[in-house]
Structure 1
Amino acid sequence: MSVWRVILSVLFPPLAVVDKGCGSIIIVFILTLLGWIPGVIAALIILNNPNR
């Protein structure tokens, strides 16, 4: 995970997971709409997962 991805996930979480698939974008977008912090946490978890 690069520093730019971390910064992008803090500023706009759905944009940070764009290359991880449509499902990840939708999940992070919905969580961001519900609250900024859940969206950031989900984006960081998805970016930190080595299997994806």
Structure 2
Amino acid sequence: MKIHKSNNGEYYFNLHASNNQIIATGETYTTKQGCENGIESVKTNAPIAEIEDVTNE
């Protein structure tokens, strides 16, 4: 994951695939520490996240 700083001074992260293509972008955070906490949350919760297919609703 890569942390970026936007033009308004907020932080966000991008999750990259092995080919370096962006496959997910986190929300914006007012602090870098908040962004790092968001990354840790993704690392912890993504492997156990349930997938809900709502394409046929």
TM-score between the two structures when normalised by the length of structure 1: 0.45
Compare CA radii of gyration and give the structure with the larger one: 2
Give the strand-richer structure, 1 or 2. 2
Flag the structure with more relative contact order, 1 or 2, with Cα contacts below 8 A and sequence separation at least 6: 1
